């Protein structure tokens, strides 16, 4: 998973280095877009619910459960929220899984998901470069390249790139500063 770091309000950049990727359980993360306040509050609710569920059941929650909790919160409050999120992670049932939850609460499991204002600039690049079964390094390079291209074209995207790689064993975060962005073909 990956994201830029710019949070804006209209044409004003409110935060240059926001962290838009949030861990909600050991191997489950959420990429946030839309209203920062809405998505932060939703993420806090999901984190709390998953923690309680893990205590009650004695097992780690699945990515699917996390996505459907988020979907329900967004759908039931769709008239009051501006929130689109990507829920991704690893669990023993689905292995690696990615769910896109759009404004309004539609939840779809996909091989990859894009979101936020910069995503419209990179669909062609992702369609051209993505393929099932990509290796870890190749997938990481694609994520970084796509985010840097979105940042170059979208005035509401920018700052730095943050990524997280989620595997059965661990979660690894990476930070790419603005002067190290991977532009190019």
Task: Provide the CATH number for the domain formed by 2-180 in this structure.
Answer: 3.60.20.10
pLDDT number for residue 12: 87
CA 92 – CA 80 distance, rounded (Å) = 35
What is each CA distance from 35 to 2, 25, 30, 56, 62, in whole angstroms? 18, 22, 14, 32, 26
- Crossing angle of helices 36-57 and 63-76, in 10° steps, is 130
Query: What is the pTM assigned to this prediction?
Result: 0.95
Q: Kindly state the tokens that stand for 167.
A: 């595997």
pLDDT number for residue 157: 94
pLDDT number for residue 178: 87
Q: Kindly state the tokens that stand for 54.
A: 């893990």
pLDDT number for residue 184: 62
pLDDT number for residue 185: 58
pLDDT tens, per residue, the chain with 185 residues = 999 999 988 788 899 999 999 999 999 999 999 999 999 999 999 999 999 999 999 999 999 999 999 999 999 999 999 999 999 999 999 999 999 999 999 999 999 999 999 999 999 999 999 999 999 999 999 999 999 999 999 989 999 999 999 999 999 999 999 889 987 65
């Amino acid at each position: 998973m990956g994201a830029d770091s710019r949070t804006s309000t209209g044409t004003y950049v409110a935060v240059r280095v926001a962290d838009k990727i949030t861990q909600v359980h050991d191997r489950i993360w959420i990429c946030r877009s839309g209203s920062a306040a809405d998505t932060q509050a939703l993420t806090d609710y999901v984190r709390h619910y998953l923690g309680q569920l893990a205590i009650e059941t004695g097992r780690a929650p699945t990515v699917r459960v996390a996505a459907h909790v988020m979907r329900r919160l967004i759908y039931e409050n769709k008239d009051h929220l501006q929130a689109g999120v990507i829920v991704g992670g690893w669990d023993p049932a689905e292995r690696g899984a990615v769910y896109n939850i759009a404004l309004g609460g539609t939840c779809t499991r996909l091989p990859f998901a894009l979101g936020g204002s910069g995503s419209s600039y990179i669909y062609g690049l992702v369609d051209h470069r993505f393929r099932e079964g990509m290796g870890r390094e190749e997938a990481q390079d694609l994520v970084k390249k796509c985010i840097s291209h979105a940042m170059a074209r979208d005035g509401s995207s920018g700052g730095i790139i943050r990524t997280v790689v989620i595997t059965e064993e661990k979660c690894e975060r990476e930070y790419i500063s603005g002067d190290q962005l991977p532009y190019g073909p």
